[in-house]
Structure 1
Amino acid sequence: MKIKTLIVDDEPHAIEIIETYVGNFPEIELVATCNSAIEAFQILQKDRIDLLFLDIKMPGLLGTELVRTLKNPPKVIFTTAYQDYALEGFDLNAVDYLLKPIPFNRFLKAMEKVFDGYRPINRQIVSVQTDQNKSENFIYLRVDRKTVKINVRDIYWLESLKDYIKVVLADRTLVSKQKISVLAELLPESLFLRIHRSFIVAVDKIDSYHSYAIEILGKELPIGRNYKDACRQRLQN
């Protein structure tokens, strides 16, 4: 049985991240995404929704106010940048309350709570390290219909290919249908540097650089005009 899901957030980038995470679970069917509680209310009136990822602070109607208007609300996971609404969220019997930016290991714990209500179910959940420090060293990508776990320290650079992204490792190159802006949120800033709208590089993998390019693994990657100052400051420190 598919769990029909709706994502509601007024920030498109936040929707993209949750869409990426949800893509790791074959038992989830994403019915729609929308950017307001009012639009979500309309969808909920005509479609069966089992799970709702719901931002709280949105123009027009708060996410918590939306839940209060529903006679039989679906399972709700609140997603927000504000801690202030946590108590109210749990008073509304929310499955979980996720603070942005949402790390995948924390998202996974919320999904475990969702699936507890749907057992038995044939699940193929991605396994992750539960240790906080270790889990942050990995990202998860959908590649050729499977989810691949990647240690961020194995990444040399990322290259945007329109709606796809190329991730270059020492021994292989992976291509995933993903936007570079989403992965930029997940990568540790201490280890990576954005040098161009289409390139993010691992700082410790840089072999050499000059004013307009960086060299890694014998390949020159361009430094974008808008990124030159930030690159110079980072690499000279």
Structure 2
Amino acid sequence: MKISCLLLDDDPLVLELLRAYATMTNVLEIKAAFTDPLEAHQYLLENPVQVLFSDVTMPHLSGIDLVKSLHAPPLVVLMTAHPQYAMEGFNLDVIDFLLKPISLERFLKAVNKVANLLRGQTGALEPPPDTAAVWGSFFIRTDAQFVRLRYREVLYIEALKDFTRIKTADGRSHLTLVNLKNLEYQLPSGLFVRTHRSYLVNAAHIDSMNSLEVKVAGHALPLGQTYRERVTEQIVNSTLIRRN
């Protein structure tokens, strides 16, 4: 499904870069592109789009004022070289705030956020994990026996060098001679999320999170900086209730 967008930046060179980035995604459909915010405003009044990529500092009308002027604005990604505008932008519930110069990687992350949110709004979420997997089970070898564990009962998995420790909802811990990378690869996709180089967490058991940790059934587990954005997008953004 293509996502309709409008590109707005008063710098023609930046606008061309945005065009190139948008084309590379194979997801965005550029409905219009403007260097004049007043022209973009008039277009948006007459032509709905799903997402607006807008510069902040422009003559006559800033990107923030443009969004405020719209009765029903589309999803918004703001762009600027001035990070002091970030807080005001996020107070408008913008989807993302890109600092210039904008890399392709960072632009693609913003597009992913938009796509995930639109899937949630339309009910066309990414396919959930297979039901059989959610309610199914797997075996691990521990000591001299094989132990069956049910996916839904696993709280989190902790790396201990070549071993992993699996914590389950009944309070038990199971130690097995499989490293975390191999275990993560063999578990059903979507059920578990990597929150730290040493922790793999059952997404269904995450009760809360902040910038430093996630809470899982009363356990405070570290949230590594490398994994923070992906965890936020996968766990929070797809189901976050936002202001209209």
Larger radius of gyration: 2
| TM-score normalised over the length of structure 2 | 0.48
